[in-house]
Copies of this chain bind each other. A is one copy, B any other.
């Protein structure tokens, strides 16, 4: 009998091994240090293992932690301040974003990360400004993080420009953000639970010269590229005006597509362009809630998978989702795709659960370490309590309702325990490394300061949402 650090028994264990969900009705997981030592039937594991800590997971689901490939926690403080309008980025997000400072960014980011982890996300692909500050939050909470600094060359008053016109690049911005990337990579890449990517924001948001520099830097460092691709009509129109090509043909022509590319959205691409992305082996991130909310788009995820492409999921940002909750990402993404296809059979629950776990691990290039419960993989897993009304009853046969209820019923409040690298970072539904009540208090104080800055910011005078607020609609 071996005594492992943690032994979880009698759970409904969803391993995500194989081509389905690899579900075991009375399952167990043995964790030693940061890795999974054994996974299987409780009766079998019980013969070999005892645990320093034993969790009885009766009436609970044990499954791999969810993986969010694409979020912008640096925008967290602006939750709910931009939606329901045309030209969301230029007319909603940019004028609000202009009021962010270190304080608002860092505190808002902490709240988003807390939300993600409390709702079952163990790995966050975070992508934003002031990454070095944001990384402190990930290290504090204890989740796994793939961090990317957003690199662009947009002028500070970008919100003044016509979205359908080009703007003059500001090389100083690009240099500073590239420098921040280099510092971050040097200090943090590969340290603990942190890895880094290189993040040109989009084909239309930095010069071709900078794009080339960044790709070359990434190649030398052995890092992947995290980039928005064809995320709007605007992007294609600006690329056409600058280069005579839409975004994807422009990227292809310049050798900027390939298996090192993690491409968010691909939402405004023509079918042939989508095929180009898949042919080059780019990995796609589907951010369903966000793309629906900001412009009513359902990105071509089912199509991308049919073309052989890898698709992961992402929550994107709080001012246009407005959640960082992977359970809602799976449910809403599923329903939106069913409606796009006009069929209830698209993305059956088992497949969507793969997208939120093992397929997202593949999208981040980490499927050898996370995304399923397998011997030797990192012990990143979550335990969900099924004794909520909306997860009741538990039915195991002839139709087992566990996987369908995880996709169509769960909303994240079921998450009791979150384990990353074998360490318990949520226990009994509470973060172990953060005083959440204090963090929320600080975020509300920071929100007031942010609100005050916005009040005296001329760029917000003609924002529709401010007008609606005055009119008592919002």
* Residues in chain A within 8 A of chain B (CB atoms): 18, 20-23, 59, 77, 79-86, 88, 96, 108, 111-112, 114-115, 118, 289, 292-298, 321-325, 328, 331-332, 334-336, 338-346, 348-350, 387-390, 392-405, 408-409, 411-413, 436-437, 439-440, 443-444, 446-448, 450-451, 454-455, 460, 463, 465-466, 468-469, 471-474
Among B20, B86, B96, B323, contact of A409 (Cβ-Cβ < 8 Å)? B323
Residue of B nearest to A325 (CB): B390
Additional pairs, 20, CB under 8 Å, beyond known A397-B455, A398-B466:
A20-B472, A81-B399, A84-B344, A115-B390, A118-B389, A292-B339, A293-B334, A294-B344, A322-B404, A323-B409, A323-B411, A324-B390, A332-B332, A339-B340, A350-B474, A388-B440, A398-B454, A398-B463, A403-B473, A403-B474
The answer to whether B454 and A349 have CB atoms under 8 Å apart is: no
Residues on B with beta carbons closer than 8 Å to the beta carbon of A289: 335
Q: How many copies does the complex hold?
A: 2
Residues on B with beta carbons closer than 8 Å to the beta carbon of A79: 390, 392-393, 401, 405, 409
Interface centre among A22, A331, A392, A436 (most CB of B within 10 A): A392
For the complex formed, measure the closest distance between the CB of A441 and the CB atoms of chain B, giving whole angstroms.
8
Among B86, B321, B444, contact of A393 (Cβ-Cβ < 8 Å)? B444
* Known contacts A79-B393, A339-B298, A469 near B400 by CB under 8 Å: yes
Q: Which 10 A-B pairs have the closest CB atoms?
A: A393-B447, A80-B401, A115-B389, A84-B348, A296-B338, A292-B335, A80-B405, A350-B473, A20-B473, A322-B408
7 contacts between A and B (CB under 8 A): A80-B405, A115-B390, A323-B408, A325-B411, A332-B335, A399-B469, A413-B413
How far, in angstroms, from A21 to B111 measured CA to CA in the complex? 27
Residues on B with beta carbons closer than 8 Å to the beta carbon of A408: 80, 83, 293, 321-323
The answer to whether B83 and A404 have CB atoms under 8 Å apart is: yes
The answer to whether B80 and A404 have CB atoms under 8 Å apart is: yes
Residue of B nearest to A327 (CB): B411
Residues on B with beta carbons closer than 8 Å to the beta carbon of A401: 79-81, 474
The answer to whether A463 and B322 have CB atoms under 8 Å apart is: no
* Known contacts A296-B343, A447-B394, A411 near B413 by CB under 8 Å: yes
